[in-house]
Amino acid sequence: MSELPPSDLALFWAGVIALAIMVYVILDGFDLGVGILFGTTADEAKRVSMMNTIAPFWDGNETWLVIVGAGLFATFPTVYAVFLSAFYIPVLLLLFGLIFRGVAFEFRYRSQRLRWLWDGGFFIGSIVVAFVQGAAVGAMMRGIRVVDGQYVGGSFDWLHPFAVLTGIGLVFGYALLGAGWIVLKSDGVLRDWAYARIGWLLAIVFVIIAAAFATVLSVDTGAVVQGHLADRAWGWVFPLLGVVALLGAAWAARARRDAWPLACTALFFVSAFLTLGVMFWPYMVPYAITVANAAAPEASLQFLFYGGVVVLPVIAIYTIGVYWVFRGKVRTGYG
């Protein structure tokens, strides 16, 4: 029995949430990546310069995560309920990591005696946030156990070896984004330091993503994913685009083209996101709840639409404005 297709408003809000997730991953991804790289050096001058590259942006980037959470709660409440039930522990770890990163960012400059604590918090918080996001993606790729719109799995179902692999992969992926951002925004010693790390980060990301993709096609939900890709042969263009983007980042690092490593890595993340879209569609909770049967009533979607067409452009304009005002290399800091 085929279900009714999703309404135009349901598709609109699914698109908004998908776009917000993609923007969040790229924008907060690079500053989480800077936090991950921050902990790999003890040089205080490099650490201060790294902080300066993300100082005007890091808290605004997380606005897009708020849009995702609020959007799911209001427009796809079933998805919100299932997701929180399935990923209660990862969401808590995510919030603790984001809070600790924010506190550490502000306090490290005001406490010489405890600077080691705040530096460690910034580094570990960044890793935790990146890991749980990647692990959640891996768990979703395997599928979530849902019966009658309710999550029926355990609290630790998400902590599967495959999810651990994707979590580690996202940690290194964000580190690669962070290295590209540092190259874009810095000069001199720090820029050279970041360039030196792009090559091995690219190699690690390529190996982990290839292993994850091969695994998901062969076990657990492999039949579902293969079916989706077989029906949508055009979808293979996105993994291919991801490989080209990684090769482009390697070329850009070798050629010392400062803007290109970040641009190519961002393109890789976009291609990975679109690949997941091909695998998952029309499910919002793979492979149990579709866009059509997860959407709130049409009256609610319409009411929220009027607010969304006002608020969302304002947030987008603000984000673009901040990046425009603070464009270019950071030479003396923004403080």
Record the tokens describing residue 144, joined without a space: 């979530």
At residue 285, φ and ψ (nearest 5 deg) are: -115, 100
Structural contact between residues 30 and 262, judged by C-beta atoms closer than 8 angstroms: yes
The letter for the amino acid at 186 is: S
User: What integer is the mean pLDDT of 117-131?
Assistant: 91
Please state which of the ranges 96-110, 211-225, 320-334 shows the lowest mean pLDDT.
211-225
For the entire predicted model, the pTM comes to 0.90
Q: CB under 8 Å, gap of 24 or more: what pairs does 197-200 form?
A: 197/37, 198/249, 198/250, 198/253, 198/261, 199/250, 199/253
The tens digit of pLDDT for each residue in 87-98 reads 989 999 999 998
Confidence of residue 217 (pLDDT cuts 50, 70, 90): low
- The answer, yes or no, to whether residue 224 has pLDDT greater than 70, is no
Residue with tokens 């209660």: 88
Provide the pLDDT for residue 7: 86
- What is the pLDDT at residue 1? 41
Q: Is the pLDDT of residue 335 over 80?
A: no
Q: Is residue 218 scored above 70 in pLDDT? A: no
